[in-house]
Structure 1
Amino acid sequence: MLGGNPCARRTRANERGRLGEYAAAFAVFLLIHAVPVRPPVKPWLVASLGRAGFGMAYSELSVAVLVWLIGAAARAPYVEVWKRAEWQNHVTLADDDTGCPDPCTVSVHAASLFLWLLAE
């Protein structure tokens, strides 16, 4: 058959589509956090929606796009950059046993746990 396996082509196209959705969700996430708070835009939105209305609309939009971004990331194809070695688990555990985690470590571990639970 000319052109290769049609099922493989469909699978690759589907993966590109899911990766495209992830890229679009990430771009929209960045845009909604950059555009509405700019000086020419925010005063107009606050005047139109009111201070409380702007806060509610901005919060709801942010949460909705964040949910979309997390879902798109879960559906995106997995790309292994390097193989995970068994010794890497021990480095993480050794870091956790210091008893004084910094906020960045806590947030990274919380995000990892959330994404792991989402994948299950």
Structure 2
Amino acid sequence: MARDGLILGTVTFMLSLVTALVSVGITPAEAARKRSEAKMEVGSMTQPYAGLWVTADGEIRHELLPNGRYVEARGDVEKAIEGRYMILGDHIEYRDDTGSTANGDFKDGILYHAGMVLYRRDSV
């Protein structure tokens, strides 16, 4: 039963990802190429977006780990949300460990995510 939920969640995540790609005009072939590149990027220590991203007030902090996992801190709660992420070009897709999804875009060194603006930081 739990496996069925995991499969359904994965399918739902992939469908939302395909919908996002189609909405920005990426062809299925290009998406497959980008997925392949993304898998290589996420598994690599050279993944260009890995690191700490913080709102200007420091309230929200996203640590994008090089292994494709992320940890979101909110205020004094250091592990408010945890999950995985996938980078496709300058687009990021999040899926937290409860199955919720979100996305964002990197532009000019800034992460725009869910109405928030996050800046790269070396430390909090």
TM category (shorter chain) comes to: under 0.3
TM-score (structure 1 length as normaliser): 0.26
Structure with the higher fraction of residues in helix conformation = 1
Q: Relative contact order (C-alpha < 8 Å, sep 6+): which is higher?
A: 1
Give TM-score scaled by structure 2 length.
0.26
More strand by share: 2
Pair member with larger Rg: 1
